[in-house]
Amino acid sequence: MKPYFVFIESNTSGTGRIFAQAAKDKGFNPVLLAGDISRYHYAKEDNLEFIKVNTQNETDLLNTCKKLKNVAGVLSSSEYFIEMAAIISKKLNLPGVNPDAIKNCRDKSLQRIILQENNIGIPKFYVCESEKESAAASKSIGYPVIVKPVMGTGSVGVKLCININEVAEHTKHLLKQKTNERGMPVPQKVLVEEFLDGEEYSVETFGGKIIGITKKYVGSLPNFVEIGHDFPADIDRDKTKKINKTTLDALDAVGLDCGPGHVEVKFVFGEAKIVEINPRLAGGFIPKLVDYAFGVNLINETIKLTSGERVNLESTRKDYSSIRFILSPRKGLFSKVEGLDNLKNKNIVETCIYKNEGNEISVNGDFRDRIGHIISYSKNKSETISAANSAIKNLRVIVK
């Protein structure tokens, strides 16, 4: 009988399916532990084995895994469950990331404090538990400021505030939320941070090693919807050196020396500053860009790491890839995307629409606003970026 590879919940934006397929390709029997299987349409389509369990209860999860007996690895592709997956993996004496390192990263207030204590470049910040505290913090920092939850993902709840009234209003909005979109309790505190007005990048890491730097494109303020990425980023040697050093120092400070990491960085006045350390693979299909450009499949390597196999992070090529996301202009019922049939550029290697005709579309100011993407890839940097930018300009989303 094939060993089981356990996934605790999943994300809903693509890599959950890819992770399960990667485990299957490695000779494992992937099984999804989840509270509500209907959340994951791919699971039914792919006939993925499923066990209903309270995934917020450590004892229930551990007992479920023990009943499976032959478990090779435990993972989650969901930000909300990576710490729990690491805890279960450790309890089963399986390879995995240190749960304490994940905790240090997931709680952004704790992460900020650790980085500050280790003299790592970060924005000015305050951890606040009331509108009054947020207002005082924002006045101390100076406007504009960022107000965001201390735990979250996909830019959910992250907002640029330009005055004290906006700070108080958004703080009130965040503190009203007792649970996140998964029904999990959220800490009743927020971060008020200095707004770093600079170039934005992310650094993809694995086991404390730099894989590469991604150029990030963000939509219009006051929200921070990521609308595209280029990998690897087009930056000079000096900037690369500074970003890499700051990233490695930050990983060392929080103890993330095993497994994947996605470190968000801004380059301001000639210095790299850490926006966030995420103890997981990047979202936004960045792992796909890395695979296209460098031939390094970070999803496969994560499966290998977690099941005790030797990891291989050596690049097999040095090419370029870009992704641009298709956004809806407004809320309503999705009809179609015009222009997809006219994308003739040879460097466009992937197009994908996440919605079906008649699906409801909302505009939230975060990753949920993305309804599709295009990916370009070639050996030429400028051609790759140009292909992605030209393609996205020629698409039109029809919403009824």
Tens digits of per-residue pLDDT, 330-382? Answer: 888 988 888 888 888 899 999 999 888 888 888 877 778 888 999 999 999 99
For the residues of 20-50, what is the DSSP string, one character each?
HHHHHHTT-EEEEEES-GGG-HHHHHTT-EE
| Of the candidates 339, 358, 379, 105, the residue with the CA atom closest to the CA atom of residue 232 | 379
CATH architecture assigned to 124-194: 2-Layer Sandwich (3.30)
Helix, strand, coil content of the chain in percent (nearest 5): 35, 30, 35
Which residues share a beta bridge with 215?
201, 230
Amino acid 368: pLDDT = 80
Q: What is the number of other CB atoms lying within 10 angstroms of the CB of residue 17?
A: 20
- Do 192 and 168 form a contact (C-beta atoms < 8 A)? no
DSSP strand pairing (332-338 vs 260-268): unpaired
Amino acid 41: pLDDT = 85
d(CA 49, CA 209): 34
Q: What is the number of other CB atoms lying within 10 angstroms of the CB of residue 70?
A: 10
- Do 18 and 86 form a contact (C-beta atoms < 8 A)? no
Structure-token pair, residue 351: 């197009």
Domain ranges for the chain, please list them. Answer: 4-94, 124-194, 199-399
What is the four-CA torsion angle of 91, 92, 96, 102, rounded to 10 degrees?
-20
H or E element that contains 191: strand 190-194
d(CA 29, CA 42): 16
| Of the candidates 206, 225, 226, the residue with the CA atom closest to the CA atom of residue 215 | 226
Q: What is the number of other CB atoms lying within 10 angstroms of the CB of residue 200?
A: 18
| Of the candidates 185, 186, 141, the residue with the CA atom closest to the CA atom of residue 167 | 141
Amino acid 172: pLDDT = 96
For domain 199-399, give the CATH number: 3.30.470.20
Structure-token pair, residue 367: 């990753």
d(CA 288, CA 375): 9
d(CA 116, CA 263): 16
- Do 60 and 84 form a contact (C-beta atoms < 8 A)? no
For domain 4-94, give the CATH number: 3.40.50.720
Q: Please return the burial class of 241, using the count of CB atoms within 10 Å of its CB with bins 0-12, 13-18 and 19+.
A: exposed
pTM of the model: 0.92
Amino acid 13: pLDDT = 62
Walk across the sheet containing 360-361 and list its strands: 360-361, 332-338, 396-399
What distance lies between CA 77 and its chain's CA centroid?
10
Amino acid 280: pLDDT = 94
d(CA 14, CA 287): 11
Output b/e per residue, 287-307; b: 16+ Cβ within 10 A. bbbbbbbbebbbbbbbbbbbb
% of the chain exceeding 90 in pLDDT: 76
List of residues 6+ apart from 335 with CB closer than 8 A: 357, 398, 399, 400
DSSP strand pairing (190-194 vs 396-399): unpaired
Amino acid 27: pLDDT = 95
Amino acid 343: pLDDT = 85
What count of residues does the chain have? 400
Structure-token pair, residue 373: 């993407």
pLDDT tens for the chain, 400 residues long, are: 799 999 999 987 668 888 999 999 999 999 999 999 888 988 888 999 999 999 999 999 999 999 998 999 999 999 899 999 999 999 999 999 999 999 999 999 999 999 999 999 999 999 999 999 999 999 999 999 999 999 877 778 899 999 999 999 999 999 999 888 787 888 999 999 999 999 999 999 999 999 999 999 988 777 778 899 999 999 999 999 999 999 999 999 999 999 999 999 999 999 999 999 999 999 888 999 999 999 999 999 999 999 999 999 999 999 999 999 999 888 889 888 888 888 888 999 999 998 888 888 888 777 788 889 999 999 999 999 999 999 999 899 888 8
CA distances from 280 to 177, 256, 286, 319, 356 (A): 25, 10, 12, 24, 29
- Do 144 and 161 form a contact (C-beta atoms < 8 A)? yes
Which residue in this structure is represented by tokens 């079906």? 356
- Do 148 and 193 form a contact (C-beta atoms < 8 A)? yes
